[in-house]
Each structure stands twice: as C-alpha cells, then as structure tokens.
Amino acid sequence: MPGRTKVMRRFTIIMPLLLTLLLSATAGCSPVKPWVKPYERDRLADPIMSLSRHGRADSYMHHVYQARESARGAEGGAGGGCGCN
C-alpha cells in the first residue's frame, strides 16, 4: 500500500527528531540546569496561559471539528499543554 508506506516513511523521519528533542529536554541527559525556577513561573501559572482553560468546553470543540473534518489527533491533550483541570 503506497499510502501506508508514505506514512511510515514520514513516521520514521519524525520519530528520531522527536526523540532527540525529548532527550535534549530531559534533565538526566543534559548538563544544562533548569533556567526557569519554580518561583519564576507565576506568569505561566496564570489561567490565561492555559491552552485549555475551559475544561470540557474545550474538548467539546475537538469533537465538533472531528465530526466535520478528516483530520484527527494531536489536539494537544497528551502533554502538549492540556491544562484540562
């Protein structure tokens, strides 16, 4: 199936990139120390900095789009900054 091969090829390109990013961002593998201290994160904790401030109301919109568009997935809940609570 040519379509599947195409997807797999893209997948094999994306995965190493993501893993590299992931490794470089994790503490155990990097000599770099966290440069934004917990006490410097007050702005980040402000609800206006949440990508999903409205809880269920936000995930409802994913539903609206998935029913009308072919695209699906990577809506941002899996670690990309959900802020669902």
Partner 1 sequence: MEQKAAREVVVGVTDRNQACHGKVALWLLPAMAGLCSFAQAATLPVDNVDVLYHRYDGGGMVIDGPSVLVRKSAGPQVSLSGQYYVDSVSAASVDVLATASAYTEERTEYTLGVDYLYERAIMSLGFTNSSENDYEANTLYFTVSQEFFGGMSTVTLGYAGGWDEVGKVGNDSFSEDADRRNFQLGLSQVLTRNTLVGLDLEVVTDEGFLQNPYRQNRYLDPNDATSFLYQPERYPETRTSTSVAARAIYHLPYRASIRGEYRYFTDTWGINAHTVELGYAHGLNDRWTLEGSVRYYRQGEADFYSDLFPYENSQTHLARDKELSSLSGTTLATGAVFEWKQTSLPGIKRLQFSLLLDWLNFDYDNFRDVTAPGNYLPGEEPLYSFDALVTRASLILEY
What is the contact surface with partner 1 in residues (CB under 8 A)? 1, 3-4, 6-7, 10-11, 14-15, 18, 21-22, 25-28, 30, 33-38, 40-41, 43-85
* Shortest Å, Cβ 65 to partner 1: 7
DSSP 59-80: HHHHHHHHTT-S--S--S-SSS
* Shortest Å, Cβ 57 to partner 1: 4
Contact between residue 66 and residue 72 where contact means Cβ atoms under 8 Å apart: yes
- Rounded Cα distance between 68 and 63, Å, is 9
Eight-state DSSP code of residue 22: H
